A and B are shown apart, each in its own frame.
Chain A
Amino acid sequence: MSEKKKYFWAGVRAEIPLLIGVFPFGMIYGALALGAGLSTASAQMMSSMVFAGSAQFITTQLVKDSAPGFVIVLTVAVVNLRHMLYSASLAPHLASLSTRWKTLLSYLLTDEAYAPSIIHYESNGVKPYSHWFLFGAGLALWVTWQFSTALGIFLGAAIPDSWSLDFALPLTFIAMVVPVLKNRPAVAAALSAGCVALAAYSLPYKLGLILAALVGIAVGTFLEDKTQAKPKPDLPIQANLRRSLDE
């Protein structure tokens, strides 16, 4: 199998657990969009034109509430602000790619495509065909989103949510965040971000999430600087020498 295909399918495989969680959301969105009065065509097209789950949900609600167009557009912008963080975070890893690749991969950059991809880059570094991983993950998500949206539109209200399949989504994020907590600054970043996310939850337009992320980033960066100021630990031979001298 060629290198490109290996990375591509690795990306798809990494995405599969997230697809399980995303699928019910797509269906629920489809059903809600119809219920809010959107046409079949516009409901389906939002999944490719905007291609952002939470923004689509909020748009649906605002359409139902007959909100003015510019309010909806602004809300979408604010709700999707965190994608700028993803862009900034991935930018160094995509730096050597053509503009065409950058454009395509940016279009596919959802929360669910970002998470496994950034972890892949952080553990494996940037190799010639690494971007096919992000492509695989992103495309898998895109296809699933279109399909589950369509299914939701088609089925309408007949969707059971007693199965709690959407819980697979936070579970996947848990599975991905734990290996990343390799040192104290990272743990502190995670804990502080989590707590702020809870405290700021009632802020509108998912501003709580952005605030939480920024706080977490600040805490992590601050602690990293502090820990680097400490003297380096002894090599084992030095520690042994020191111990034998002390006895």
Chain B
Amino acid sequence: MNIWLVMLLGGLITFGMRFSFIYAFGRLHVPETIRKALHYVPPAVLSAIVFPELFMRSGEFYLSLDNHRLLAGLVALVVAWVSKNTLVTILAGMVALFVLQIVLR
């Protein structure tokens, strides 16, 4: 097994997937339902990524007040809602995490 060949193939497949629809669009007719559905990719995908980061630790569901990341994440959620500012949200979340880690240790 040659690692370079593995990386080359893996890279080509990855690029292929990223390129797939971007290349094909316009060359294929996209049904209206699919167009509408694509509108929901951002909220679905972002949540699919965020929820495990907040609610799980080491592969286990971690719903507890000891879960500092979850609490900090909820703080960030509220701040994001109110401020609509990315940088402020991240700062608030990081500060919340640090404070929780120090205070609740």
Please give the residue numbers on chain A whose beta carbons come within 8 Å of chain B beta carbons, in ascending order. 14, 17, 20, 38-39, 42, 45-46, 49-52, 55, 59, 63, 68-69, 72-73, 76-77, 80-92, 94-95, 99, 102-103, 105-107, 109, 111, 115, 118-119, 122, 164, 167-181, 185-187, 189-198, 201-202, 208-209, 212-221, 224
Q: Give chain B nearest CB distance to A127 CB in angstroms.
A: 18
Assess the B90–A221 pair: CB atoms within 8 A: no
Count: A-B pairs, CB below 8 Å? 263
B6 close to A119 (CB less than 8 A): no
Contact A167 B10 (CB under 8 A): no
Main secondary structure of the interface of A (DSSP, over half): helix
Which of B9, B87, B90 sits near A73, CB closer than 8 Å? B9
Interface residues on B, range: 35 or more
A84 CA to B4 CA, complexed, in Å: 24
Chain A residue contacts of B11, Cβ below 8 A: 49-51
Using known A-B contacts A50-B14, A168-B94, determine if residue A90 contacts B22 with beta carbons closer than 8 Å: yes
Q: Is the interface of B mostly helix, strand, loop or mixed?
A: helix
Beta-carbon nearest neighbor of A220 in chain B: B40
Interface residues of B in 15-56 (CB under 8 A from A): 15, 17-26, 30, 33-56
The residues in B between 48 and 97 inclusive whose CB is less than 8 angstroms from any CB of A are 48-56, 59, 61, 69, 72-73, 76-77, 80-81, 84-87, 89-90, 93-94, 97
* CB contact between B7 and one of A42, A84, A105, A202 (< 8 Å): that residue: A42
Closest partner residue, chain B, to A91 (CB atom): B25
Given A77-B13, A92-B25, A220-B43, 15 more A-B residue pairs with CB atoms under 8 Å apart are: A17-B87, A50-B11, A52-B14, A69-B2, A84-B20, A91-B24, A94-B22, A164-B97, A174-B80, A177-B46, A180-B46, A181-B43, A212-B47, A214-B44, A224-B36
| Best-surrounded residue of B4, B14, B39 (most CB of chain A within 10 A) | B14
